Amino acid sequence: MMASLNSSQELTSNSRHQVLLTLLLGGTVISFGNSALNPAIPIFMSVFDVDIVMGGWVLNAYVLSMSVGLMLSGYLHKEFAFKPVYLTAIIGFMLGSVIGMCAPSMTMVIVARAIQGLSGGLTIPLSIGMLYQIYPQHRHGRVMALWGIVIMMSLAFGPLIGAYLVEQFAWWTLFAVTLPLSAVVTLMVWRLLPNIGSPKASKTFDTIGFVSLLIWLLALMTWLSTLKTDFYTSLTSVIKTSLVAAMFLISFMVWWAYERRQSQPLLNVRLFRNTVYLHSTIISVTQTLGLMVGLLLLPILVQEVMGESALWTGVILMTATLMSSITTHFAGKRVDKHGARDIGILGIILSASSMLLLAWCLYQPTLWLLMLIMSLQGVGVGLAYLPTTTVGFSSLAKEVVTEGAALNNISRRIVSTIFITLVTVYVAGRGAQLLATGSTQSVGTAIQEVFVMLAVILFLTIFSARRLPKAV
Domain ranges for the chain, please list them: 8-203, 207-261, 271-472
- Does pTM top 0.85 for this prediction? no
pLDDT of 299 reads 74
**In Å, how far are 138, 171, 174, 423 from 164, measured between CA atoms?**
41, 10, 10, 28
Whether the predicted pLDDT of 15 surpasses 80: no
b/e burial code for range 236-251 (CB count within 10 A of at least 16 → b): eeeeebeeeeeebeee
pLDDT of 93 reads 92
Q: Which residue has the higher pLDDT, 297 or 449?
A: 449
336: nearest Cα among 68, 67, 131, 144: 144
DSSP letter string, 132-179: HHHS-GGGHHHHHHHHHHHHHHHHHHHHHHHHHHHHHS-TTHHHHTTH
Query: What CATH number does the domain located at 8-203 have?
Result: 1.20.1250.20
Q: How far apart are CA 37 and CA 175, in angstroms?
A: 9
Asked if 44 and 58 count as a contact pair (C-beta separation under 8 A), the reply is: yes
Q: How far apart are CA 277 and CA 18, in angstroms?
A: 29
Q: Which residue has the higher pLDDT, 139 or 106?
A: 106
Q: How far apart are CA 152 and CA 32, in angstroms?
A: 9
Question: In this structure, what DSSP letter does residue 3 have?
Answer: P
Measured torsion, CA atoms of residues 204, 129, 284, 369, in degrees rounded to the nearest 10: -140
Q: How far apart are CA 457 and CA 285, in angstroms?
A: 11
Give burial (CB, 10 Å; 0-12/13-18/19+) of 183: middle
pLDDT of 400 reads 80
pLDDT digits (tens, 9 = 90+) for 88-121: 999 999 999 999 999 898 889 989 998 998 998 8
Phi first, then psi, for residue 241 (nearest 5°) are -65, -40
Asked if 62 and 114 count as a contact pair (C-beta separation under 8 A), the reply is: yes
Three-state SS string across 114-125, please?
Answer: HHHHHHHHHHHH
Q: Which residues contact 37 (CB under 8 A, 6 or more apart)?
A: 58, 113, 162, 174
Average pLDDT in the 342-350 region? Answer: 90
b/e burial code for range 188-216 (CB count within 10 A of at least 16 → b): bbeebbbbbbeeeeeeeebeebbebbeeb
pLDDT digits (tens, 9 = 90+) for 67-88: 888 778 767 777 777 788 888 9
Phi first, then psi, for residue 470 (nearest 5°) are -75, -25
pLDDT band at 6 (very low <50, low <70, confident <90, very high): very low
Amino acid identity at 118: L
Greatest Cα pair distance in the chain: 72
Q: How far apart are CA 289 and CA 285, in angstroms?
A: 6
Same CATH fold, 271-472 and 8-203? Answer: yes
* Euclidean distance between the first and the last CA atom of the chain, given in angstroms as a whole number: 36
Asked if 464 and 283 count as a contact pair (C-beta separation under 8 A), the reply is: yes
pLDDT band at 457 (very low <50, low <70, confident <90, very high): very high
**In Å, how far are 131, 178, 363, 410, 433 from 124, measured between CA atoms?**
11, 17, 39, 11, 42
19: nearest Cα among 114, 112, 147, 180: 147
Average pLDDT in the 380-386 region? Answer: 86
Output the average pLDDT for the chain.
80
Q: How far apart are CA 134 and CA 14, in angstroms?
A: 12
| CB-facing half-sphere around the CA of 194: CA atoms within 13 A | 25
Q: Which fold has domain 271-472?
A: Growth Hormone; Chain: A; (1.20.1250)
**In Å, how far are 255, 385, 388, 459, 464 from 285, measured between CA atoms?**
20, 9, 11, 13, 12
CB count, 10 Å around CB of 47? Answer: 15
Asked if 343 and 349 count as a contact pair (C-beta separation under 8 A), the reply is: no
Q: Which helix (H) or strand (E) holds 236?
A: helix 235-261
Among 335-349, 393-407, 432-446, whose mean pLDDT is lowest? 432-446
Q: How far apart are CA 278 and CA 211, in angstroms?
A: 25
Measured torsion, CA atoms of residues 338, 339, 343, 345, in degrees rounded to the nearest 10: -140
Beta strands in 213-259 (DSSP E): none
Whether the predicted pLDDT of 459 surpasses 80: yes
pLDDT digits (tens, 9 = 90+) for 180-229: 988 998 888 888 777 665 445 556 778 888 889 888 888 887 787 676 54
